[in-house]
Structure 1
Amino acid sequence: MEKSKIEEYKEKLLAGWESLLQKSNEDEIAGFGRERIIVFLVAFILALALWLMVNLSRDYTLNIELPIQLGAVPADKALVKDLPGTATVSVTGEGWKLINLYNNPPAINIDVNNAEVNLFDQVQQQMNAMLNVNIQRVQPRILAVQLEDRISKRVPVHSAVNINFSGQYGFLDSLTINPDSITIDGAASLVVGIKEWATDPVEINNVTKDISRTVPLESPSELISLSQREVMVEADVVEYTEGEVQANINTRNLPLGRMVSYSPLAITIKYDVPIEEYADVQDENPFDAYVSYEQILEDSTGFVTPQIEENNENYHIKLRSFQPRNVAYFIVLEN
């Protein structure tokens, strides 16, 4: 039975049912009577059942697409390219069995041990074990595969999580990923070029509390396996406030007999600090502002940009800006 033959049977059944519904409208029920309709239904069902029994007990030939799944592979080898998604299989058997096979085509597990796989033999073995049908043809009959040595590699996990904070909230420290690396496994040519593995692009909005949640890793191809499929991302979240401080400009690496004067003498630095740390930071100057003597030697404009350095690592300070961006300088020779 060809695929079109099955479709033809389905169309006949549907056409018969629609015809029956049309004949069962109120006008015809009034003419024939309810009893005659029931007798007609019973007779139709019996005739249909007899027709199916006679016709579907015959042998037919059907072409179907069977899904292919990767079965056993040598432990030290891995595929370089995916197997084809399906194989076209021509089968012969009773109509009842072919209808079931057509509606629910089973997946075929393909064992790969060599560079060539006899797809006909593997399909025949598995189909005969499942259904009493005869395999006439399999396309492709021989499947060429490419195997390479299997290797494992440890790579860092890259976060693709996008955090959007509410108001003045932000990280106390940086976002942490646990574990921060995973093991990937597959064919050498596929694995060797992978430097990191990303999480799924997850977005978390209006954050005001500490973060602790699992995030899926980016899905690999069927040729690559991961030691795990998700990681934990964590971070402490606090509310920040703005601070401001004046810092005098110093000169570093100044040679003997030299002195540099700046205009202005100090710059204004604006920064964000957690509300809980604000009072402590105000009691001391948390920044150093400096210009290296090498900057001055390389300059030809008479203006340099000060460098800002945090001098206390006990605070969680985030530099926002400083003014002015450039200052004038004057070199004074000492006697």
Structure 2
Amino acid sequence: MIKNEIVQKVVSYIYESVRFDIRSKSIFLLISIVLWFSITLEKDYETTLTIPIRYSGLSKSKTFKEPTVDSATLKVRGRGRTLFSNEGELFFQIDLSNFDDSTRVYLNPENFVNFSDRDITFIGSVDPVFIDIKLDSLKLKRVKVVPNIKLETDIGYTVSKKGDFYPKEVILKGPATIINNIDNISTYPVEFNNIVSDIDATLKLNIPHSDVVKSSSSKINYNSSIVRIGSYTFKHLVDVVNKPKGKLLSLEPISVELKVVGAVDKLHQLSEDNFNVTIDYNMIDKSSKKAPINITTDTELEWSSNIKKVKVTEF
């Protein structure tokens, strides 16, 4: 009788405490959730998991001709707590040591691996049921890199130095039937518009069949010098070639005016020695007494002259 009264008083005390105390309510709710969760995790369940597929035993002289399947779903049975976390401990293992060419591998309990210390049973329902694996000889090949770039400077600017990049070659590694047909590799298309300053960019390589072909580098460093356009005007004496010995000639005019337009840094390196201005005595027109001017130069810059012919007077 006394015990019942004590129990009733304790229960009544707890009830009244929880009834009006939010903090106590929260504590008891949390305890209830933990107890429910612990009980639930001890029960057996059947569920579907997605686990990775690992390939082993591939010969060093072989490689995959096509992309491989990297995961599969399957139905398993186990306690709730054992199924809660399985990362890196459950997977399918496919041994390729006995295969030289194409093969079909079925996913079944024989290649299901459980590295955990938990009791998890494979009960079937695998997707995909099988995997078609295609192998090829492994080949390495050095190929040239071709930047796929469209560059336009702003008005009044030009490219001073042809774009340079590194690396200029890469080594491709992959199936021989694919690698044999690749002679060069380009970057993804890139446009530089209205450029007024130097370019220093990283460009990504467009690797063909990148799912099975690997490259020693996935990008290149590209740079180009951009400068203002300027002009340089100077006079150059006209020389006569094939002139008879002892023959005296008078030229009018005796010099031509040359105008060179281009990158200012290249103009600073320019001099009269870069041009050769001549007329050929044998090309003098007998009636007009004029000869065409021949101008040669080693510069790649644009240039023009103020006259095309000179008048020749013989003495």
Maintained 8 Å contact 1:70/1:83: no
Q: Counterpart of 1:136 in structure 2: which amino acid? A: I
1:197 to partner: Cα distance: 1.2
Measured in 1, the distance between the counterparts of 2:46 and 2:295 equals: 81
Give the count of matched residue pairs.
249
Q: Counterpart of 1:234 in structure 2: which amino acid? A: N
SS of the aligned residue for 2:108 comes to helix
Measured in 1, the distance between the counterparts of 2:162 and 2:171 equals: 24
Q: Work out whether 1:128 is the aligned partner of 2:112.
A: no
SS of the aligned residue for 1:62 comes to strand
Measured in 2, the distance between the counterparts of 1:285 and 1:118 equals: 75
1:212 to partner: Cα distance: 4.1
1:207 to partner: Cα distance: 3.9
Runs (5+) with no aligned partner, structure 1: 1-31, 246-268, 289-308, 323-335
Deviations 1:205-231 (A, max 9, x none): 554444444433235623111112222
Deviations 1:90-129 (A, max 9, x none): 111111222334x99977675544223353357522x334
Q: Work out whether 1:75 is the aligned partner of 2:83.
A: no
Q: How does 1:157-306 map to 2 (within 5 A)?
A: 157-204=145-192, 207-218=195-206, 221-241=210-230, 272-278=261-267, 283=272
Q: Which range moves more in the overlay, 44-53 or 70-79?
A: 70-79
Runs (5+) with no aligned partner, structure 2: 1-17, 235-257, 278-293, 306-315
* TM-score for the superposition, normalised by structure 1: 0.59
Measured in 2, the distance between the counterparts of 1:53 and 1:116 equals: 43
2:135 is aligned, of 112, 135, 147, to 147
The structure with the largest strand share of the pair is: 2
Measured in 1, the distance between the counterparts of 2:162 and 2:90 equals: 50
2:39 is aligned, of 54, 74, 89, to 54
The change in CA–CA distance for 1:207 and 1:34 in structure 2 (over 3 A counts) is farther
State, as a whole percentage, how many aligned pairs show the same letter: 20
SS of the aligned residue for 1:311 comes to strand
SS of the aligned residue for 2:162 comes to coil
SS of the aligned residue for 1:237 comes to strand
Q: What is the CA RMSD across the aligned residues, in angstroms? A: 4.2
The structure with the largest helix share of the pair is: 1
Maintained 8 Å contact 1:66/1:105: no
Deviations 1:22-65 (A, max 9, x none): xxxxxxxxxx9651x33332222222222222222111111122
Q: How does 1:90-109 map to 2 (within 5 A)?
A: 90-101=75-86
**Who is 2:248 aligned against?**
none
Maintained 8 Å contact 2:200/2:222: yes
Measured in 1, the distance between the counterparts of 2:263 and 2:52 equals: 58
Maintained 8 Å contact 1:157/1:177: no
Q: Counterpart of 1:135 in structure 2: which amino acid? A: F
Maintained 8 Å contact 1:68/1:83: no
SS of the aligned residue for 2:181 comes to coil
Measured in 1, the distance between the counterparts of 2:300 and 2:95 equals: 57
1:87 to partner: Cα distance: 0.9
The change in CA–CA distance for 1:106 and 1:91 in structure 2 (over 3 A counts) is same
Measured in 2, the distance between the counterparts of 1:110 and 1:213 equals: 43
Maintained 8 Å contact 1:272/1:317: yes
The change in CA–CA distance for 1:72 and 1:158 in structure 2 (over 3 A counts) is farther
* TM-score for the superposition, normalised by structure 2: 0.62
